[in-house]
Structure 1
Amino acid sequence: MLLRRAAQLLLTLPLLLLGSGATFADIKTVQLHVVDFPPYIIVPDTQDGITGMDIDIVQAAFAAADLDVHFSSTPWKRIIKSMERGTILGTVSCSRRPERLEYMLFSDEVTSTNRVAVSRSEVDTSAIQTLDDLQNFSVVSIEGWGMEQQLTAENIPHETTSTYEGAMMAMRYRNIDILYAAEYPSLYYARKLGIHRDIKITPIRTEPVTPLYLCMSKTYPDSRAIMDRFNAGLRQIKQDGTYQAIRAKYL
Structure 2
Amino acid sequence: MLRFTRSRFVRRLVPGLVALSIVTACGGNQTQTGQAGGQSLTVATEPAFPPFESQGAGGELEGFDIDLMNAIGEAADLNIQFQSLPFDGIVPALQAGQVDAAISAMTITPERQQTVDFSRPYFKAGLAIAVRENNTDIQGFDDLKNRRIAVQIGTTGANQAKNLEGATISTFDSAPLALQELANGNVDAVINDAPVTLYAIESGNLQGLKVVGQLVTEEYYGIALPRNSPNLERVNQGLTEIKNNGTYAEIYQKWFGVEPPTLPETAPTN
Q: Distance in 1 between matches of 2:57 and 2:146?
A: 37
Unaligned 5+ residue runs, structure 1?
1-25
Correspondence for 2:217: 208
What amino acid maps onto 2:42 in structure 1?
Q
TM-score (norm 2): 0.72
Q: Distance in 2 between matches of 1:168 and 1:154?
A: 19
Alignment of 1:86-165 (within 5 A): 86-92=97-103, 93-125=105-137, 127-128=139-140, 131-155=141-165, 156-165=167-176
Greater mean deviation of Cα atoms: 109-118 or 186-195: 186-195
Correspondence for 1:217: 226
Q: Distance in 2 between matches of 1:115 and 1:212?
A: 12
Alignment of 1:15-30 (within 5 A): 28-30=39-41
Correspondence for 2:206: 195
What amino acid maps onto 1:186 in structure 2?
T
User: What SS does the aligned partner of 2:190 have?
Assistant: strand
C-alpha RMSD of the superposition: 2.3
The structural deviation recorded for 1:191 is 5.0
The structural deviation recorded for 1:166 is 2.0
What amino acid maps onto 1:214 in structure 2?
I
User: What SS does the aligned partner of 1:180 have?
Assistant: strand
8 A Cα contact 1:57 1:110, kept in partner: no
The structural deviation recorded for 1:246 is 0.5
Q: Distance in 2 between matches of 1:175 and 1:77?
A: 24
How many equivalent pairs are there? 217
- Same amino acid, percent of matched pairs: 22
Structure having the higher helix fraction is 1
Q: Distance in 1 between matches of 2:92 and 2:62?
A: 24
8 A Cα contact 2:138 2:144, kept in partner: no
Q: Distance in 1 between matches of 2:139 and 2:131?
A: 13
User: What SS does the aligned partner of 1:42 have?
Assistant: strand
Q: Deviations over 1:206-229 (max 9, x none)?
A: x3321000000116xxx2x31111
Q: Distance in 2 between matches of 1:126 and 1:102?
A: 35
Q: Deviations over 1:124-158 (max 9, x none)?
A: 15642xx3331153321122322112212455432
User: What SS does the aligned partner of 2:168 have?
Assistant: coil
What amino acid maps onto 2:130 in structure 1?
V
Q: Distance in 1 between matches of 2:137 and 2:66?
A: 34
